[in-house]
Amino acid sequence: MKVLVIGGGGREHALVWKLKQSPKVTEVYCAPGNAGIAQMATCVNVGAEDIDGLLKVALEKGIDLTVVGPEAPLIAGLGEKFREAGLKVFGPRRRAAEIEGSKALAKEIMIKYNIPTAKYAKFTEAGAAIDYIKTNGAPIVVKADGLAAGKGVIVAMDEETAINAVKDIMESKVFGESGNIVVIEEYLEGEEVSILAFTDGETVVPMVPSQDHKRVFDGDEGPNTGGMGAYSPAPVYTPELHETALRDILIPTIKGMAAEGRHYEGVIYAGLMVTKDGPKVLEYNARFGDPETQAVLVRLGTDLVEIIEAILDKRLAEVDIKWSNQAAVCVVMASSGYPGDFAKGKVIKGLEEANKVGIVFHAGTKGQGDEIVTSGGRVLGVTALGDSIKDAIDNAYRAVGKISFEGMQYRKDIGYRSLNR
């Protein structure tokens, strides 16, 4: 079987790594990929959002299965285009992926199907949004409705920050059309956990839980990023919480989507806040998380292709999905300046040594002659397993210690919160 993975970050490297292990897979292609992916798959220089270009590649190479990493192509309708062309694709169709593409839609579905989430209001005009903020006060959360590369959520600890966020989003249009609508939400306190689940639209099978570290600096300080690291399992996610999340969140979400004519198949990601009143949904993603996937897939004991085929045939209930009891930690090594402007083209050293200790998933890297250089904000996702979270942390940081590039920055406290529990 020939597989095409779409995307070029750490998540996609982890997907390629896992798919390569399937006895059913003969060849893996990745568009556009990165320098690490190029060591185990054939990279094709077509962007993840160039749907026509990707379709052409899939047809020309005789691809049997396409696995989509990022959300943008799903929300742009890749799922429909590929299926219409008779291709198998793992990822929801546009109408289902909109649960990530529109925060207002996600909130409407949650309210309609009684899925626990923060109270909210939706606005199409800045004036009304600002009045609402003044009435409700801070802390309060302002969200651009559409996609904003992970930057569309402003957790405002004071009114002025919230009002400025509304002005930036709705008047200055810093996220373009994504800011035509804003969602303003109650501020929730608690610990976050990411639940990724496989679903064929009927059966929902959660993966092992993971936790992401969104802030750039140690101790969860500084601006939000795409994710500076992840670990799995997440001790906050107890067996009781699992039951609640499955019964009150994941199953009603998939059933609700079906009732809305938005049949969902693929991976659904629920970002939860574990509050004193139980888990509440912060967001949905229509795909694997990044970097959660790196920490989750290294624990998956079942052939991913077998799971995907079962989903596409609507027989997920028949598959016994196994997970390793080991813990996994992924430490993201980023370029200096990230999540703001960052330098590129810095030579990365020590990758081979690091790969003897852990698994180095590449994110923003590219080949330059015989060398591998930085080419993105998040550069590497250095991942390791261990018999406990502590061992996994030690192993991941031992691997990190082998790597160097100019200006590298990474958090020193990935996974530590779970040690303090």
Residues that bind ligand AMP (CB under 6 A): 118, 141, 153, 155, 185-188, 192, 214, 224, 271, 282-283
CA distance 249 to 117: 10
* DSSP-H helix ranges across 76-119: 78-84, 94-101, 103-112
Q: Mark the segment that binds ligand GLY (CB under 6 A) among 101-109, 248-256, 284-292, 411-419.
A: 284-292
8 is an interface residue for ligand GLY by CB under 6 A: no
Q: Which is nearer to ligand GLY, 211 or 395 (CB)?
A: 211
Using CB positions, name the residue nearest to ligand GLY: 289
290 is an interface residue for ligand GLY by CB under 6 A: yes
12 is an interface residue for ligand GLY by CB under 6 A: no
Q: Which is nearer to ligand GLY, 230 or 327 (CB)?
A: 230
Residue 292, contacted partner among ligand GLY, ligand AMP, none, CB below 5-8 A by kind: ligand GLY
CA distance 337 to 105: 34
- Tell me which residue has tokens 């008047």: 171
Site for ligand GLY in 210-229 (CB under 6 A): 212, 227
Query: H-helix or E-strand containing 245?
Result: helix 239-245
Using CB positions, name the residue nearest to ligand AMP: 283
Q: Which is nearer to ligand AMP, 225 or 374 (CB)?
A: 225
Q: Mark the segment that binds ligand GLY (CB under 6 A) among 234-242, 272-280, 286-294, 384-392.
A: 286-294
Q: Which is nearer to ligand GLY, 12 or 292 (CB)?
A: 292
Residue 290, contacted partner among ligand GLY, ligand AMP, none, CB below 5-8 A by kind: ligand GLY
CA distance 312 to 68: 14
The nearest distance, CB 367 to ligand GLY, in angstroms, is: 26
93, β-bridge pairs: none
The nearest distance, CB 71 to ligand GLY, in angstroms, is: 8
Site for ligand GLY in 299-358 (CB under 6 A): none
217, β-bridge pairs: 221
**Phi, psi of 120, rounded to the nearest 5 degrees:** -155, 170
Q: Which is nearer to ligand AMP, 192 or 290 (CB)?
A: 192
Q: Which is nearer to ligand AMP, 32 or 227 (CB)?
A: 227
Structure tokens belonging to residue 357: 């200790």
285 is an interface residue for ligand GLY by CB under 6 A: yes
Asked if 284 and 262 count as a contact pair (C-beta separation under 8 A), the reply is no
Asked if 33 and 19 count as a contact pair (C-beta separation under 8 A), the reply is no
Residue 185, contacted partner among ligand GLY, ligand AMP, none, CB below 5-8 A by kind: ligand AMP
Q: Mark the segment that binds ligand GLY (CB under 6 A) among 195-203, 282-290, 320-328, 329-337.
A: 282-290
Pick from 98, 200, 292, 309 the residue near ligand GLY by CB under 6 A. 292
Count of beta carbons in the 10 Å neighbourhood of residue 370: 5
Pick from 82, 50, 47: nearest CA to 66 = 82
Query: Between 159-166 and 126-136, two packed helices, what is the crossing angle to 10 degrees?
Result: 170
The set of residues, in sequence order, having a beta carbon less than 8 Å from that of 93 and lying 6+ positions away, is 74, 77, 79, 80, 83, 263
Site for ligand GLY in 227-256 (CB under 6 A): 227
CA distance 232 to 142: 29
395 is an interface residue for ligand GLY by CB under 6 A: no
Amino acid at 91: G
The nearest distance, CB 70 to ligand GLY, in angstroms, is: 9
Pick from 229, 289, 339, 415 the residue near ligand GLY by CB under 6 A. 289
Residue 227, contacted partner among ligand AMP, ligand GLY, none, CB below 5-8 A by kind: ligand GLY
Count of beta carbons in the 10 Å neighbourhood of residue 404: 13
Q: Which is nearer to ligand AMP, 185 or 309 (CB)?
A: 185
Asked if 234 and 296 count as a contact pair (C-beta separation under 8 A), the reply is no
Pick from 149, 156, 206, 218: nearest CA to 185 = 156
Beta strands 65-68 and 89-90, pairing class: parallel
Residues that bind ligand GLY (CB under 6 A): 212, 227, 285, 289-290, 292
